[in-house]
A and B are shown apart, each in its own frame.
Chain A
Amino acid sequence: MASKNTIQLNGNEFSFEPGETILEVAAENSIDIPTLCHLKNTTPTGSCNVCVVEVKDEPDLLKACSTPASSGMVITTESPGVFESRKATIKLLLASGNHNCAVRGSDTTDWIGFQLSVQGNDQSDDLCPVWGDCQLQDLAYRYQVSAPVFDESKTPFPTETVNPFIVRDFSRCIKCEKCVKACNEIQVNNAISVGYKGSETKIVAADDKPLKDSDCVFCGECIQVCPVGALTEKDIRYRVRPWEMNKIRTTCSYCGVGCQIYLHVKDNRVVKVSGVEDTAPNFGSLCVKGRFGFDFINSPERLSSPLIRENGVLRKAGWDEALNLVADQFKSIITEHGADSIGVLTSARITNEDNYIVNKFTRAVLKTNNIDHCARL
């Protein structure tokens, strides 16, 4: 006899809180149920059908993401029936658009024709831009699915490239609606929604306008949650491959929220920024500056050598020359006018360690308390 608020998952008993879904209980207990459409902290759409599980005494498979756990449920997450169902679902999704990864092509004789048609669409002779960073591809590999080319009809909607940040490639959209959930329930920017019906379904902004003419604020949350190649960063699409980048975790340097970010680096250049999920303060979310405003790092205008003013113009100098000049000038000004004739503006942009050192330098070396920063400005 099952006790109150417990379910059985793959033969083991787990407790749950009323209102939790099967998927949530499984996730809490490290039982993997694959899904393409579920987005944490949003209401489930149940649109992808991948997360189905077998529940004892239920005639049909149930979606784990939208079925609440109820006492006494006996659930199997990977039965032969579940396996076959997921395989069929993935096959349909894979065949539904321009999913031109090698997985897709492995059992079709018409791969070349398909690839050529996608190339025409994308003006690139490469495989899918998110090859290697695609959840659909991962699942196709995991369940050993390949898809036939049903037809090569062009997708009904052209790719949107008219804004500076995000490429919307409808030919690779699997209509999972994760981007809609991210926009409306995570960032609450309410810029995109599900438009049209049936096979004409399209994720639209405003009255099916380009993003740049809608309420979109280009936070890029939609890119971050897109499980496939439908939403990508314009800058690196087809230019930088997922496996070419190293990820380094750090803290964003714009406003005071302190979002946790990954800097994606290729050849000593930051080429992409993404949010670190599952951790405070931002739980993966970013804004347009944090996600897309990183060009300054590698700007050719960065200062690369000390400069000294000579005859009214700044010229390049070595460190020793510049530092000696500064030290000598500070010393002679202190001797002549006293320490309080020097002021130091430290910075809200530099690190704690940098600030501490400037504080120590000002007070212990210059011997003045004339130190401040732009908190007031």
Chain B
Amino acid sequence: MAGLAAAFGSGAMTNTIGDIEDADVILVTGSNTTENHPVLSRHIKRAVSFKGTKLLLVDPRRIKLAGFADMWLRQKLGTDVAWLNGMMRVIISENLYDQEFVENRTVAFDDLKKTVEKYTPEYVQEITGINANDLKKAARLYARAKAASIIYCMGITQHTSGTDNVKSLANLAMLCGNMGIRGGGVNPLRGQNNVQGACDLGGLPNVFSGYQPVTDEAARNKMENAWGVTGLPDKIGLTATQMIPKAHDGELKALYVIGENPLVSDPDLNHAEKSLANLDFFVVQDIFLTETAKMADVVLPSKCFAEKEGTFANTERLVQRVRKAVEPPGQALDDWKITCEIGERMGFPMSYQSSRSIMDEIASVTPSYAGINYDRIEQNGLHWPCPNENHPGTPILHQSQFTCGKGNFHAIEYRPAAEDIDDEYPLYLTTGRVLYHYHTGTMTMKSEGLNERVPDCFVEISSEDADKYKIKNGTMVTIASRRGNISAAANVSSKAVAGTVFIPFHFAEAAANRLTNAALDPVSRIPEYKVCAVKMSKSA
């Protein structure tokens, strides 16, 4: 998100889910779309199968979309900047870029041009393993499309170079004038139902709702007036990935966690566990007694989505209604109600009639949500920005200009992943989700049917590695990194690439994140879940 915001001035999916089918070329990278966003993936598959759209897939694993791809490039883990720079070099040197767009709508093209100069297809092949000729073909395919859509997910962002990867995708899209048109754009897929909304409504250390910076005095004054307070803090706060080490060092004394399970989802879990144990006071608000909640001093029961009134903002910035269908169990309350009660008891009046009245307050202090209210979204949602009550919403961003005026090219050099393989840890590990489970499994593992499909953790390995380590399908193996080890059954699969193992991170009892590296992207503070070095052995 930080990468897109730097390029365009706004860090959200630029286009809608529906207009994927209008693309001539779709570039998918770092997204196992059919398993993580199945309903969105049908648009990609429909476009390819029935509308003549070409799919360019760049992914190390033989994911299902490989079967739909016109071109499939398998890069080495963590080398995305290199192949993207390489594609741009081809496009510039063959004069396939959109000169008019670059001139009128962007700045800093010369810096980009200079930087990508050295990324010749041959040099890129050395770094990424992608055949030089294939890279040229892929570059031409993308550049010649009338409208080309870029779709990416955590396979791009969960690297120490994640922000650079995203900026590079933005570079590519701008270079070819694929912004602000149907079937184009740069489209990050949000992995959780309301990541977009949590970002939109101030769930970030640097901004109030609507991305109004806490460092901006005018924004602080506005919120102080609206909320009836003085002295709102002007210093950017800690990210989640900074809070854990601060807890470990004793600087952070208390943590209030709502609806998250960092004790399965955080990187380097052994370290995270110690950090949380070090807190003076730990509050967890959730629908289940999760691994995280079990460590808390106070646990507060909340309603789940089926018991709530409210709204979610989806990955395409569409704000849609959530409605109550059933009564909550026991004494469970709305999350907002619980938080307001704590605020009231700390001497701050926070009393609301309903979620509807909270949305009205959101609209009054958040320019991009100003035109959104429950009456307008009763039937269909609205895409923000929606600046007033007569505005129809904005399905496609950056149509005549970028949010920040002109789009910024970023000249970016390739940097290798934080941890490389060596003699002791000779295999790469990458992590992700499977179709039948969701995040830390808190919800999906309550369904017998989903458990029947994928009951346990597994280690996906290539047949080459299976031969090398004399491992059969189902053999229990131990995977160890510098940070920890777990055991799970081997799943010898044609999806895997030799030299790399894949482990889904859903399972607390064999948590992949005991292995992962907590090294962070310097800007976004996202951990490098997608690359670390491990070793494999048969379990004793």
Contact = CB atoms under 8 A, between A and B. Distances in A.
A350 B260 CA distance: 10
A357 B343 CA distance: 10
B325 A374 contact: no
Nearest to A259: B39
A254 B437 CA distance: 10
Interface stretch (A21-29, A99-107, A140-148, A363-371): A363-371
Interface string A333-354: 1000101111111111111111
Interface string B195-228: 1111111111110110000100000000100010
Contacts of A364: 223, 227, 229, 232, 343, 348
A293 B206 CA distance: 35
A361 interface: yes
Interface stretch (A6-14, A81-89, A305-313): A305-313
A355 B299 contact: no
A352 B311 contact: yes
B436 A288 contact: yes
Query: Which of B200, B201, B227 counts the most chain A CB atoms within 10 A?
Result: B201
B326 A265 contact: yes
A218 B435 CA distance: 10
Interface in A76-95: none
B306 A270 contact: yes
B450 A352 contact: no
B20 to A, nearest CB: 11
B346 A306 contact: no
Contacts of B316: 258, 281
A373 interface: yes
A343 B301 CA distance: 20
A340 B247 CA distance: 12
Contacts of A153: none
B237 A345 contact: no
Contacts of B237: 340, 343, 368-372
B367 to A, nearest CB: 14
A171 interface: no
Nearest to A310: B297
Interface in B258-309: 258-260, 262, 265-267, 280-281, 283, 286-289, 293-294, 296-302, 304-308
Interface stretch (A67-75, A131-139, A198-206, A294-302): A294-302
Interface stretch (B441-449, B477-485, B532-540): B441-449
Contact of B266 (A218, A234, A265, A377): A377
Contacts of B442: 296
B320 A361 contact: no
B265 A269 contact: no
Given A268-B326, A270-B306, A304-B329, A217 B38 contact: yes
B256 interface: yes
A353 B195 contact: no
B448 A295 contact: yes
Interface stretch (A30-38, A50-58, A317-325): A317-325
Nearest to B188: A256
B260 A345 contact: yes
B329 A357 contact: no
Interface residues of B, number: 152
Interface string A279-298: 11110011111101111111
Contacts of A257: 17, 37, 39-40, 314-315
B195 to A, nearest CB: 4
B336 A348 contact: no
B524 A376 contact: yes
Chain A interface main SS type:
mixed
Given A256-B191, A351-B194, A360-B350, A292 B231 contact: no
Given A296-B443, A352-B197, A363 B258 contact: no
B236 interface: yes
Nearest to A360: B227
A112 interface: no
B233 A363 contact: yes
Contacts of B449: 163-165, 218, 234, 292
A353 B336 contact: yes
B14 interface: no
A1 interface: no
Given A188-B45, A257-B39, A353 B453 contact: no
A297 B287 CA distance: 9
A251 interface: yes
Contact of B318 (A280, A343, A355): A280
Given A257-B314, A280-B318, A322-B300, A250 B323 contact: yes
A124 interface: no
Interface stretch (B117-125, B238-246, B406-414): B238-246
Contact of B256 (A188, A288, A343, A374): A343
B359 A352 contact: yes
A277 to B, nearest CB: 13
B112 to A, nearest CB: 27
B359 A258 contact: no
A13 B527 CA distance: 63
Contacts of B199: 373, 375
Interface string B179-197: 0000000000111111111
A256 B189 contact: yes
Given A327-B342, A369-B235, A376-B239, A354 B310 contact: yes
A258 to B, nearest CB: 3
Contacts of A188: 42, 45-46, 49, 68
B508 to A, nearest CB: 14
Given A258-B318, A347-B260, A369-B205, A295 B446 contact: yes
A187 interface: yes
A289 B444 contact: yes
B203 A359 contact: yes
Contact of A250 (B318, B325, B335, B346): B325
B211 to A, nearest CB: 12
18 contacts: A185-B50, A256-B189, A269-B326, A270-B306, A280-B16, A281-B316, A288-B435, A303-B330, A304-B330, A341-B253, A345-B240, A347-B194, A352-B311, A353-B358, A354-B310, A355-B200, A368-B233, A373-B260
